[in-house]
Structure 1
Amino acid sequence: MNLPENSHRRDFLKLGALAGLGLGLSAVPSAEAKPDPRDLKLLSASDISATRPRPAGNKPVWDLTTKPTEKVRCGFIGLNRGRGHVNSAANIPFAEVVAVCDIVEQRAKSAAENVKKKTGKEPAMYFGDENVWEKMIARDDIDVVYVATPWEWHVPMALKAMEHGKHVFIEVSAAVTVDECWQLVDMSEKTQRHCAIIENCCYGEEELFVLNLARQGFFGDLKHAECAYIHNLAGGVLWSLGSEGDWRRDYHRFMDGNLYPTHGLGPVAQYLNIGRGDAFKFVVSVSSPEFNLTQFRDKHQPNKGKHKDEKFVCGDMNTSIIKTQLGRTIMIQHDVVSPRPYSRINALCGTKATFFGYPGRLAVDADSGHPLLKGAKVNSHEWTFEKEKLTAFMKENQHPLIRKIGELGKKVGGHGGMDFVMNYRMLDCLRQGITPDMTVYDAADWSSILEISAKSVKDGSMPIQCPDFTRGGWKTIKPLGIVS
């Protein structure tokens, strides 16, 4: 999104960095220093949709290989969400936690202490200054930098880390705007460093099970998927000072669209080979009215009424439809304020089978004749596999990664083990010198839906064409296989 010259984006960046890295409230700028939502302007539809030419000298990185290494040396910026990644790395034998960074001294010391308990070696600590992360990424003994800070800092930190020759793993969403997505792609191609989004939901047991079946052709011809991020945060996280409440709620003031697309979209994009044989074509998006944040604030006056003058513009439920180049459709929703159970939907529909998550259910066409069915009864009014039957079927058809390290992941922890499985696999890719499962093109494709959906909503739900971050490469890039 383009900002006018007199905008307060710099103040917002500073605020986000201070809050997300854990700075005490006394150092956080006052509410008056925050940007006015009217200062923020979306790109024009033509600028959003334009596929920008590759800068001279840049080369694609979708099949980038690097020198294998026995030990992958890691540095971590942001130890609120990042502490989970530190814990994963400390439990991976071929990974080394070299350095940890957070503005809050206690967070850095706590993370370092936990690493020392697990590995016997204390990592270097960086804390106490909003720019101290720049000292960490300048080290010459770090291979990959994890960026787990507020969204506004993802791109500036990733760009500088790549300039210093580091690979980068960025928390979700990787970027806020389409322009930022292009910056990540161009810098990755310029420096020939991996810049991967670390979308842990791609490594959930259910998601890997569906991916496994899809790659085996179990679903037949794939035609439709549904996904979401539905998670009621209205009474907690969005108001928590000293944490995400210092910055995440602000996006509900600035943008009306899907503010957090990748948890649901990442897995279904992999099922459909987005960026690897298919690509997003256009997005149509609609939003409901905004009610819940305003009503909760007015009733409960969180933080002693500090937020009484905030105006929220993001509709409680955003629903977007993505059309792909091959004609498939994806329905994606965002709702973090309504009284509903958590769901990412995680649905995939093909000519031979359909899966829906939350709870998991699998329906199979009676004429599919797939050997995995083994005589299971099939009719049009019941799910072929659900509850105990689905559990047994999933166990018989586990993804190789789950079979290999799934139980270890549950013991180490992190969103039921998916964090560990993801970090193990992504770091193992660097160890082997192969391209990670999630690339900078995935980071851009999945994250760009934030601004694209907001632009569609603003333009009366008109279709907004999606840019091609691979610059035509999606037509020939090999699909993601059944990795092990």
Structure 2
Amino acid sequence: MTSTKRRHFLKSAAALSASGIALSHADTFTNVSTNKLFKHNPVFGLAVPKMETVRIGFIGVGKRGLGHVQHCCHIEGVEIKAICDIHQDVIDSACQLVELQQRPRPDEYTGSEFAYKDMLNRSDIDIIIISTPWRWHTPMAVDTMTSGKHAFVEVPAATTVEECWLLVNTAERTQKNCMMMENVCYGRDELMVLNMVRQGVFGELLHGEAAYIHDLRSQMKNLDRHTGSWRTYWHTKTNGNLYPTHGLGPISQYMNINRGDQFDFLTSTSSPAIGRQSYAARTFPPEHERNKVNYIAGDMNTTVIKTKLGRTITLKHDTTTPRPYTRLNYIQGTNGVFSGYPNRIALEQKPKAIAAFFEKEYQLALNAWETQGKIGSKPQRHSSHQWDKNMLPWQQHFDHPLWIRMGKEAEKNGGHGGMDFLMLWRMIYCLRNGEALDQNVYDAAAWSVIAPISADSVADRSNSKDIPDFTRGLWKNATPLSIVS
């Protein structure tokens, strides 16, 4: 397919599943959440037999997928069997990375947007890592599970409510893992806060705030290839939170969403859509394609989620306005709060070890004040009315065991501060040891579905919209994510 034809295809069919899998099931979408299609076998705690070696196939090895290939080259117990992409040059780059590590060159699949299906016919591949444009995520994941392989898919896992149900139903039918690779859940800060939450440091949780605020207007210059060549068009067809999972994933884990609590409903509102149209007018000629489309996604979308236990989550999305990056990562409990960007903590009752540290700091400051003739304000003991921005003592006492074990290796290998490598390492570790993954298909569906439902709310004067229960009630008794080492 030529570049011109491909761009036309992306624009005209971005809302549809291109592989034909979702389309072939379109007549069953009205029933996908019921028990009429097949006997549902839940995949909570799904642990597959131990794999001595995890044999991997990759679909999509552009910038994101190439990073996954590189990281997997440095993980023990991995064989990279095959790589699929529509561009030969990125296949060559990925294969060269593999060969540089003295590993066999992977088999190649290209020449068609459906070449990945030939790769799925192989019996010597265990898992598929999918790093393609959003519209391909669900079709490729469904095809992967149907072929008897485990699907690991980039965010978001799905773009419609129907696709979310299709992922859940396919995972339950095939008993294959479908994990959305939400890398932020493996960041050092997020893991530390999860550990603190599990130890009750913040008290009973009440409220969280999450975001994806990242100025990505420059991606609009990607015309034929790379992320902006297809992601830009989502701003012309959907007005809602286009990309919810990076901020929402960690907050959901703190709150045990799908494992003791559940999203109930949301309301969403968007600001005017001005930024991208203005950027296009300044950057491209008047007759350019970027100036001929109508950008409808509000520059700032604000969504408020209510959970079954009554907690609230504020979720924001803005990839258009000029401002520093943030995911907020804010969690509030009855005993205090953690807030990210920059990291800071305020607690009413501090853990003993932390309280001793603060008391020592106070005594040192008091002695210095008295020694210097009591010049200036007298030091005060730290309280919940003050932010503590020194993360070192908190990390010393609350770093997640997984980060303590693999943090140095993760930072060495990189990928958003090491979270990418740690995520992939943990995935392989679970498969090789017959353990359940940290994220399952219910998480993939619940976190991804916020995008289409937020758009429904925006279109309906921000009226509340119910959020489907993809667990079919099993969240009430599901075991919370444990603190693994």
TM-score w.r.t. length of structure 2? 0.88
Residue of structure 2 equivalent to 1:312: 295
Q: Does 1:59 align with 2:37?
A: no
Q: Does 1:239 align with 2:221?
A: yes
Asked whether the 8 Å contact 1:49–1:467 carries over to 2, the reply is no
SS at match of 1:276: coil
Q: CA deviation at 1:358?
A: 0.4
Asked whether the 8 Å contact 2:137–2:158 carries over to 1, the reply is yes
Distance 1:283 1:213 in 2: 27
Distance 1:110 1:190 in 2: 36
Residue of structure 1 equivalent to 2:322: 339
Distance 2:44 2:205 in 1: 23
Residue of structure 1 equivalent to 2:383: 379
CA-to-partner distance for each residue in 1:112-159, whole Å, 9 max, x for gaps?
A: 111111143221111222111111111111111011100100111111
Structure 2 letter corresponding to 1:99:
A
Residue of structure 2 equivalent to 1:296: 279
User: Structure 2 matches for 1:104-183, cutoff 5 A?
Assistant: 104-183=87-166
SS at match of 2:50: coil
Q: CA deviation at 1:191?
A: 0.3
Q: CA deviation at 1:61?
A: 0.4
Q: 1:73 aligns with which of 45, 48, 55?
A: 55
Residue of structure 2 equivalent to 1:40: none
Distance 1:292 1:274 in 2: 34
CA-to-partner distance for each residue in 1:211-232, whole Å, 9 max, x for gaps?
A: 0111111111011000000000
Q: CA deviation at 1:34?
A: 2.9
Deviation larger for 104-113 or 193-202: 104-113
Distance 1:50 1:382 in 2: 50
Distance 1:32 1:346 in 2: 33
Q: CA deviation at 1:48?
A: 10
CA-to-partner distance for each residue in 1:423-479, whole Å, 9 max, x for gaps?
A: 111121111122100100000000000011000110101010111000001001100
Residue of structure 2 equivalent to 1:431: 432
Q: CA deviation at 1:302?
A: 6.7
Cα pair distance change 1:293/1:33, threshold 3 Å: closer
Residue of structure 2 equivalent to 1:256: 239
Q: Cα RMSD over matched residues?
A: 2.1
Give the gaps of 5 or more residues in structure 1.
1-17, 19-23, 38-46
Distance 1:206 1:66 in 2: 30
Deviation larger for 186-195 or 430-439: 430-439
Residue of structure 2 equivalent to 1:101: 84
Distance 1:463 1:452 in 2: 9
Distance 2:233 2:60 in 1: 19
Q: CA deviation at 1:77?
A: 0.3
Distance 2:102 2:286 in 1: 40
Residue of structure 2 equivalent to 1:268: 251
CA-to-partner distance for each residue in 1:35-82, whole Å, 9 max, x for gaps?
A: 699xxxxxxxxx999953363223000121211011111111001111
Distance 2:177 2:156 in 1: 16
Asked whether the 8 Å contact 1:258–1:318 carries over to 2, the reply is yes
SS at match of 2:291: coil
Distance 2:385 2:173 in 1: 54
Distance 1:48 1:404 in 2: 46
Residue of structure 2 equivalent to 1:405: 406
Distance 1:220 1:32 in 2: 48
TM-score w.r.t. length of structure 1? 0.89
Residue of structure 1 equivalent to 2:378: none
Cα pair distance change 1:370/1:180, threshold 3 Å: farther
Asked whether the 8 Å contact 1:199–1:266 carries over to 2, the reply is yes
Structure 2 letter corresponding to 1:340:
R
Q: CA deviation at 1:369?
A: 5.3
**Structure showing greater Rg:** 2
Asked whether the 8 Å contact 2:61–2:85 carries over to 1, the reply is yes
Distance 2:412 2:466 in 1: 44
User: Structure 2 matches for 1:329-478, cutoff 5 A?
Assistant: 329-365=312-348, 367-368=349-350, 370-376=352-358, 377-383=381-387, 385-386=388-389, 389-478=390-479
Deviation larger for 88-97 or 220-229: 88-97
State the identity as a percent. 44
Q: CA deviation at 1:238?
A: 3.2
Distance 2:93 2:241 in 1: 34
Distance 1:430 1:54 in 2: 32
Structure 1 letter corresponding to 2:317:
H
SS at match of 2:469: coil
Q: CA deviation at 1:306?
A: 2.6
Q: CA deviation at 1:398?
A: 1.1
Structure 2 letter corresponding to 1:198:
M
Distance 2:286 2:250 in 1: 36
Distance 2:472 2:416 in 1: 35
Cα pair distance change 1:30/1:197, threshold 3 Å: closer
Q: CA deviation at 1:372?
A: 3.8
Structure 2 letter corresponding to 1:61:
V
Deviation larger for 25-34 or 72-81: 25-34
Distance 1:50 1:378 in 2: 54
Asked whether the 8 Å contact 1:353–1:363 carries over to 2, the reply is yes
Asked whether the 8 Å contact 1:354–1:362 carries over to 2, the reply is yes
Cα pair distance change 1:395/1:48, threshold 3 Å: farther
